[in-house]
């Protein structure tokens, strides 16, 4: 198992390196002189010169790439053109908000979705199965930002019981939790339906498998058969989907953050794009990619824990 994890983890390095080089190359796609482009109307010759100096924009490409890579290894992602803050500290501030939103939302959605799907499969003749299917189709059909707007209208405007804006960081843990309810629901609701349907389908297959019949033949209690013997097999496709879906999740988090005006990676990147604050955009995307790659790594590792056959392929 350890060998598998290390082998799998080593793959992260070339992936991130590739992204780095692409991000670096993007500066060359900017029309004209990058420094004036970034500074926009504020571009005075002095500022342009200072920026060129600071970002080594006047050096040859390989030298710049070298500076860039060395900086990243040292944890230095440059400074914001707009605010002068270090990009790394801007990211350190934004990241926990996004991670909290994305992973509470996904965690709770996965738990509810998988259990709901399993339950619907076990009670295959009851109306729950149909209800799960319909709910999941609805959940998948509604984009995150529409769900976010609808929830906001419903619970902040029509029946104003939940806060609409911000992250609630000034109100302690309870404030954070309360501010998380709507955005996390908006982000996770599609996942609940999707995972429920996926789990239901694979669970129905698994429940007909020979090894389930074996367990029944030896009188293993029905609940243990369903929620241990069968579910551990039935959950495998969901893990794959979650791993592949983390990109979509982060993308959704960006929209939801903007709608609920939550601080976070999404808001940081989008604001930086509008401000043409290139170092921030670069650093933000790099970190988002790293998150994505790490999430996939985690999914693969948990996959190997659930399905022992994987490690040996």
Partner 1 sequence: MSEPLLEVSNLTLDYNLGGRKMRALDRINFTLEKGEVLGVAGESGCGKSTLGLAILRLLPRVAEIRRGAVFFKGTDLLKLSEEQMELEIRGQEITMIFQNPQNALNPVFKIETQMTDILRVQDRNQNPGSRKRHQHYRKQAIERLKLTGIADPEARVSNYPFEFSGGMKQRVMIGMALSSGTSLLLADEATTALDVTIEAQINKLIIDLAAEYGISVLYVTHNLGVLAEMADKIMIMYAGRIFEMGEKEMLFGSPRHPYSAALLESLPSRQKKGRRLLSIPGFVPPLDRLPKGCSFHPRCVFAEDICRKQVPPLTEVASGHWSACLLDQKRGRQKWQWT
**Interface stretch with partner 1, choices 143-151, 176-184, 216-224, 248-256 (CB under 8 A):** 216-224
> Taking CB under 8 A as the rule, which mask of x and - marks residues 185-214 in contact with partner 1?
-----------------------xxxxxxx
Instruction: Select 1 or 9, whichever has its Cβ closest to partner 1.
Output: 1
Q: Does 123 bind partner 1 (CB under 8 A)?
A: no
User: Which lies closer to partner 1 via its Cβ, residue 11 or residue 211?
Assistant: 211
Q: What residues have CB less than 8 Å from 127, skipping those under 6 apart?
A: none
Q: Is 215 in the site for partner 1 (CB under 8 A)?
A: yes
Based on CB atoms, which residue is closest to partner 1, 119 or 229? 229
Cβ-proximal residues to 48 (8 Å cutoff; 6+ apart), any chain:
33, 35, 36, 39
Q: Is 220 in the site for partner 1 (CB under 8 A)?
A: yes
**Does position 107 bind partner 1 by CB under 8 A?**
no
What ranges make up the beta strands (E) of 34-143?
none
Q: With respect to partner 1, which residue has the nearer C-beta, 121 or 281?
A: 121
User: Contacts from 128-132 at CB under 8 Å and sequence distance 24+?
Assistant: 129/200, 132/193, 132/196, 132/197, 132/200
In terms of Cβ atoms closer than 10 Å to its own Cβ (0-12, 13-18, 19+), residue 115 is middle
| Contact status: 224 vs partner 1 (CB under 8 A) | yes
Q: Is 217 in the site for partner 1 (CB under 8 A)?
A: yes
Site membership for partner 1, residue 17 (CB under 8 A): no
Shortest CB 306 distance to partner 1, Å: 6
Alpha-carbon gap, residue 260 to 299, rounded angstroms: 28
* Binding residues with partner 1: total (CB under 8 A): 24
x/- contact string, 149-188, with partner 1 (CB under 8 A)?
Answer: ----------------------------------------
Which of 191, 229, 255, 278 contacts partner 1 by CB under 8 A?
A: 229
Which residues sit at the interface with partner 1, rule CB under 8 A?
208-222, 224, 229, 232-233, 306-309, 312
């Amino acid at each position: 198992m350890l060998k598998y994890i290390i082998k799998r983890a080593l793959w992260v390095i070339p992936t991130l390196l590739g992204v780095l080089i692409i991000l670096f190359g993007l500066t060359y796609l900017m029309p004209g002189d990058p420094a004036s482009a970034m500074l926009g109307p504020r571009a005075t010759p002095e500022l342009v010169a200072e920026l060129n100096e600071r970002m080594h924009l006047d050096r040859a490409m390989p030298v710049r790439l070298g500076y860039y890579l060395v900086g990243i290894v040292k944890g230095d992602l440059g400074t914001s053109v707009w605010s002068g803050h270090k990009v790394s500290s801007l990211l350190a501030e934004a990241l926990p908000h996004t991670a909290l939103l994305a992973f509470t939302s996904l965690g709770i959605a996965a738990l509810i979705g998988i259990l709901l799907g399993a339950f619907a499969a076990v009670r295959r003749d009851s109306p729950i199965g149909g209800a799960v299917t319909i709910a999941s189709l609805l959940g998948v059909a509604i984009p995150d930002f529409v769900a976010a707007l609808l929830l906001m209208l419903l619970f902040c405007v029509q029946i104003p019981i939940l806060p609409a804006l911000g992250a609630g960081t000034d109100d302690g843990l309870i404030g954070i939790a309360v501010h998380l309810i709507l955005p996390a629901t908006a982000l996770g609701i599609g996942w609940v339906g999707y995972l429920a349907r996926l789990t239901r389908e694979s669970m129905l297959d698994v429940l007909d498998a020979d090894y389930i019949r074996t367990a029944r033949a030896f009188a293993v209690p029905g609940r243990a058969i369903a929620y241990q013997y069968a579910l551990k097999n039935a959950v495998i496709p969901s893990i794959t989907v979650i791993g592949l879906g983390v990109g979509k999740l982060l993308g959704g988090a960006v929209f939801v953050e903007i709608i609920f005006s939550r601080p976070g990676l999404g808001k940081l990147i989008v604001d930086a794009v509008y401000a043409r604050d290139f170092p921030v955009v670069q650093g933000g995307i790099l970190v988002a990619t790293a998150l994505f790659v790490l999430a996939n790594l985690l999914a693969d590792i948990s996959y190997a824990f659930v399905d022992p056959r994987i490690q040996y392929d």
